């Protein structure tokens, strides 16, 4: 049996610039971190030549074409395998803005390569996960989640017009990183959503509206500025930059926010948050805020009954945790 653990991620700035329809014209840049919430994939030999897949459902297939789960079906096509049992469990439900789909793909690839005793680097796993989701399954998504979850850590990630990706680890001390983390707070808003429909609308806007490209270019500039603020420990300014980024992100598509999310966000700003965002494509999931220590309890009270979700930064990315 092989066991793989892959972290989820939260992104701070620049989201959307990792979509090809944008970065093929101008480079993209995203600031993000992996967190200590994970998806786990376990794979072991099944007692027949059938393929069993367990996630929120259980599938038992005689061949690949019978598998309904698209990521499992397309990923397994890369391997000449029969008689395997694949099980997944996760700390957080899908569709909540923490990169769960890409974390699943990275985990599955890592598990399968370990199962057939082939070594793959984390960068290669991220690249191959992009191929599965974007090229094979034609999902209208970007590349940030695959790299953020595969590699782990607090990073600035560049997306270049030739398709290459460059990861710059944000090298700050543990003490400074802990301070940064202590001023972040995450709330579960709920309402799991299908990111695909939101991203299709956003992708169409990028391709057909020059204003959308200009907005994303401003968000890329904010990501560059945000990196400088982090390495300079100017976190108050970073929090305010998050607010600017959110206002730009909302304008990318009418599906990203709604009246209830806007009300929650505005209430947070009135009660001490310097900035924040809805994580992921939009429409539902988790709300992240930057709030300094003296206002943290005030903010939590103001946003009651939203559930605070505790997390910490993570450094390891996808890794094997079990083999026998």
| CATH number for the domain that contains residue 36 | 3.30.230.120
Q: What pLDDT is recorded for position 274?
A: 98
For 142-187, give the DSSP string: -SHHHHHHHH-SEEEEEE-TTS-EEEEE----HHHHHHHHHTEEEE
CA distance 53 to 86: 5
Q: What pLDDT is recorded for position 94?
A: 84
Q: Residue 254 — pLDDT band, cuts 50, 70, 90?
A: confident
CA 251 to chain centre: 20
Residue-range definition of the domain harbouring residue 296: 1-324
Q: What pLDDT is recorded for position 131?
A: 97
Here the tokens at position 32 are 């993000």
Angstrom CA distances, 204 to 208, 210, 252, 323, stand at 6, 11, 10, 44
Q: Residue 282 — pLDDT band, cuts 50, 70, 90?
A: low
On average, the pLDDT of the chain sits at 93
For 61-83, give the DSSP string: ESSGGG---HHHHHHHTTS---S
pTM (2 d.p.) = 0.94
Identify the CA nearest to 142 among candidates 125, 157, 124, 123: 157
| 194 compared with 177, residue with greater pLDDT | 177
CA distance 258 to 295: 26
Identify the CA nearest to 41 among candidates 10, 1, 74: 1
Q: Residue 198 — pLDDT band, cuts 50, 70, 90?
A: low
Angstrom CA distances, 18 to 2, 27, 90, 93, 146, stand at 32, 8, 25, 23, 11
- Is the confidence at residue 90, as pLDDT, over 90? yes
- Is the confidence at residue 163, as pLDDT, over 80? yes
Q: What is the DSSP letter of 302?
A: H
Total number of domains constituting the chain: 1
The backbone torsions φ and ψ at residue 233, rounded to the nearest 5 degrees and listed phi first, read 60, 30
Q: Residue 255 — pLDDT band, cuts 50, 70, 90?
A: confident
Angstrom CA distances, 74 to 9, 70, 118, 193, stand at 23, 6, 19, 23
Q: What is the DSSP letter of 294?
A: G
| 96 compared with 110, residue with greater pLDDT | 110
């Amino acid at each position: 049996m092989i066991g793989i653990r892959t972290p989820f991620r939260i992104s701070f700035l620049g989201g959307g610039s990792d979509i090809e329809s944008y970065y093929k014209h101008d480079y993209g840049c995203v600031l993000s971190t992996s967190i200590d919430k994970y998806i786990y994939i376990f794979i072991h030999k099944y007692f027949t030549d059938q393929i069993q897949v367990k996630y929120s459902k259980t599938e038992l297939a005689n061949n690949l074409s019978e598998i309904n789960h698209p990521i499992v079906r397309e990923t397994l096509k890369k391997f000449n395998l029969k008689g395997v049992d694949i099980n997944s469990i996760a700390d957080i439900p899908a569709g909540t803005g923490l990169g769960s789909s890409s974390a699943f793909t990275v985990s599955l690839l890592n598990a399968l390569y370990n199962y057939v005793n082939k070594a793959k680097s984390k960068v290669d796993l991220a690249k191959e996960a992009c191929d599965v989701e974007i090229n094979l399954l034609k999902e209208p998504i970007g590349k940030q989640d695959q790299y953020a979850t595969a590699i782990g850590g607090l990073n600035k990630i560049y997306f270049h017009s030739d398709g290459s990706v460059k990861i710059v680890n944000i090298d700050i001390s543990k003490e400074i990183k802990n301070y940064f983390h202590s001023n972040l707070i995450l709330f579960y808003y709920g309402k799991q959503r299908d990111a695909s429909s939101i991203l299709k609308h956003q992708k169409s806007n990028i391709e057909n509206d020059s204003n959308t490209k200009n907005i994303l270019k401003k968000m890329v500039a904010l990501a560059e500025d945000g990196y400088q603020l982090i390495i300079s420990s100017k976190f108050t300014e970073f929090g305010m930059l998050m607010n600017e980024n959110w206002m730009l992100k909302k304008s990318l598509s009418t599906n990203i926010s709604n009246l209830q999310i806007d009300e929650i966000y505005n209430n947070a700003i009135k009660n001490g948050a310097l900035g924040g965002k809805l994580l992921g494509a939009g429409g539902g999931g988790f709300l992240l805020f930057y709030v300094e220590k003296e206002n943290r309890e005030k903010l939590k009270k103001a946003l009651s009954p939203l559930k605070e979700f505790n997390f910490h930064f993570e450094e390891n990315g996808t890794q094997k945790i079990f083999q026998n």
